[in-house]
A and B are shown apart, each in its own frame.
Chain A
């Protein structure tokens, strides 16, 4: 479980986060949604420690991460996996080396065990026979899968995904979304996904936080999001033509 309380963050004079609270439960896909520039990624980076919040705290299973010592932070961070927007695979390593990297650095496993584990997670994300390919030789969707495999290879308890389907075609995006949801449930991971893609919201959103201008405006799930009465969220949802059509169809059925 991840809990965050009163997270505030400013850059120079611009306040990006105005005191955000929330709880993300394990085994569920938790979404942070909102339009561009609302502070979703900043909140995510505050949670994983890539940015320091000006105020507030983040707790991983009750352990304070924000004010923890460097050693405690390192310990908690070793349970964290992250899928970056651009996948962030290491250019100088091939697929297999990328996936094995956390095991090489963070564990004392034998080479055979590491290889076995890497092959297991690669198979789990649907990738086979590309172990020796370099990141520049594989497609964007494959890079995302390798990124997911690297994030979970060390039995991570927390998975953070920053816009996992940006730059992907709609079919691959759905595949990646479903993969994230399956892995979350299968390995009982606390997954946090930052997205502004309404298809993802409807597909995988177990718990959803809607952010608007650095504030949490709404909290719910994919079942009740369409019936929201928050005007800003309605505008965000129905900017998507497909969702618009879905609403129109529902209204026509009622009539």
Chain B
């Protein structure tokens, strides 16, 4: 409970007496490149293969001749939009970006760089964490959109190459019974997950005490706590919005 209380105080400090917004602009752009462009490869690989595997495994499980083949791509589409693109990518994102944020802030903390900011009269919490959170909020939804596209494309490639579904059936399936809200739902999830990953990782990194060992522990803790928060938020959002 103490940790959760401190986390909310930390969130409050993000906005109290922060520097002028122009101070953050360059930092936000730098963070966007680091967070967004830096995650493209891993997000691309993971989502493409997850889409491919989902397609092949769905085909494997659909043994009844009464079920039309286009259902395979329909399942791939809905699974991708509802769960795989926002949630699995979030786990990957937490592992890559979350650990990086916690490691960076933790190292700054133990090498007195955070103290140097405080001595200058700068609100170190908002100066260091706010650009990272804003960058994640800007870039993660874009990564989710990309992940969704690549997963569905991965399913198409795997499905057609292995012969479990024809290209025509696949295209028909991904267009059948389409609900626009699923896309909105995926984007809502992506904003929530991005905030949780960036803020929890910043919090864990900022309060690092000790030396190199503790920086490693903070990174690990940032990833595990972010993953737990993502799964809890995933359940709550599904209950509330679906």
Interface residues of A (CB under 8 A from B): 48-50, 70-71, 73-78, 80-82, 84-86, 88-91, 102, 104-106, 160
Contacts and interface: CB of A to CB of B under 8 A. Distances in A.
Contacts of A75: 121
B2 interface: no
Nearest to A50: B115
Contacts of A81: 119
A104 B107 CA distance: 23
Nearest to B113: A88
B23 A85 contact: no
Contacts of B122: 105
A160 B112 CA distance: 14
Nearest to A79: B121
B121 A91 contact: no
A105 B19 contact: yes
B116 A88 contact: yes
A81 B108 CA distance: 18
A135 to B, nearest CB: 10
Contact of B119 (A70, A82, A104): A82
Contact of A91 (B23, B113, B120): B113
Contacts of A90: 108, 113, 116
Contact of A106 (B111, B112, B121): B121
B112 A86 contact: yes
Contacts of B23: 104-105
Interface of B: 17, 19, 23, 107-108, 111-113, 115-116, 118-122
A49 B115 contact: no
B111 A77 contact: no
A73 B121 contact: yes
A36 to B, nearest CB: 17
Contacts of B121: 73-78, 80, 106
A50 B113 contact: no
Contact of B120 (A70, A71, A77, A89): A77
Closest 4 CB pairs of A and B: A77-B121, A88-B112, A88-B116, A74-B121
A84 B116 contact: yes
Contacts of A91: 107-108, 111, 113
Nearest to B115: A50
B111 A80 contact: no
A48 B19 CA distance: 20
Contacts of B112: 84-86, 88
Contacts of A71: 17
10 contacts: A48-B119, A50-B115, A50-B119, A77-B120, A80-B119, A82-B116, A84-B112, A88-B115, A91-B111, A106-B121
A91 B114 CA distance: 12
Nearest to A101: B120
A48 B119 CA distance: 7
B210 to A, nearest CB: 14
Contacts of B107: 91
A61 to B, nearest CB: 16
A102 B117 CA distance: 9
Contacts of A49: 118-119
B166 to A, nearest CB: 52
Nearest to A74: B121
